[in-house]
Amino acid sequence: MGKLVLPQSLTDIQSMACTSYEEARDIIRTGDLLFCSGGKPVSRLIQTTTRSPYSHVALVVRMLSIDRLLLLEAEWPYGVRVVPLSSYFKDWNGCGKPYHGNLLIARHTALDSDNEDAMVLFLSELVDILGRPYSLRRALRIGLREVAALAGLRFRELRLKKATVCSEYIYHAYSRLGIHMPWNPKGYILPMDIAAHQDISLVCRIL
């Protein structure tokens, strides 16, 4: 079976068949990615500015010992945090409701989640930076560069000092395993850049 490419538009996402979270639990692995296409105003603004259906990306960790799926993510205003993946379907950010939008699971074809030594390296540093503040300033700089790009302007590449926005957190995570995700020509990396990478394969859309 060939690699399934992630949808590149909201229309394509909404036309996909859905898998229930309960069914998807059995096929989700450590290192899988959760791509979010949010329906709230801030998410829509991100999608419009970046000309992309995706507003957020996060990393899944399967905890076999307690039979839980956890999500590592850099999220405004909480910073780098860990939450149950199930919270996106039941009680997102404590609102008592599911996440407002579309959710897709994807997988990097080069990631071997059965390699225990690699997984220790992969996860240890990601856990070490839990609690790091989200950089709203950096997110705004990226947004301004996206707007400037519409006018044909280009800037030098942003230096990755700390993984404090969602897509940079994923970039940092995979870099620990020697998996390189190139930044876009505008000098940074967005959820859409990760979604469009040739080694990222769609697993399912979950509901």
Q: What percent of the chain has pLDDT over 90?
A: 39
What's the mean pLDDT in 183-192? 85
> Which alpha helices (DSSP H) does the chain contain, by range?
10-14, 21-24, 41-50, 87-90, 116-128, 136-150, 166-175, 191-195
pLDDT tens for 157-183 read 666 666 578 998 888 888 888 888 888
Q: What 3-state DSSP class applies to 161?
A: coil
The position carrying tokens 């995979």 is: 174
**Of the segments 76-85, 111-120, 125-134, 175-184, which one has the largest average pLDDT value?**
76-85
Provide the CATH topology of domain 10-206: endopeptidase fold (from Nostoc punctiforme) (3.90.1720)
Q: How far is it, in rounded angstroms, from Cα 18 to Cα 206?
A: 5
Closest CA to 36 of 26, 27, 46: 46
| Residue type for position 169 | Y
Q: pTM of the entire structure?
A: 0.89
pLDDT tens for 89-124 read 998 988 899 999 999 999 998 887 777 777 777 777
Q: Which band of pLDDT confidence, cut at 50, 70 and 90, is reported for residue 25? A: very high
Q: Which band of pLDDT confidence, cut at 50, 70 and 90, is reported for residue 139? A: confident
- pLDDT given at position 162: 63
Is the pLDDT confidence value at 62 over 70? Answer: yes
Give the mean pLDDT of the chain: 86
Indicate the domain borders of the chain: 10-206
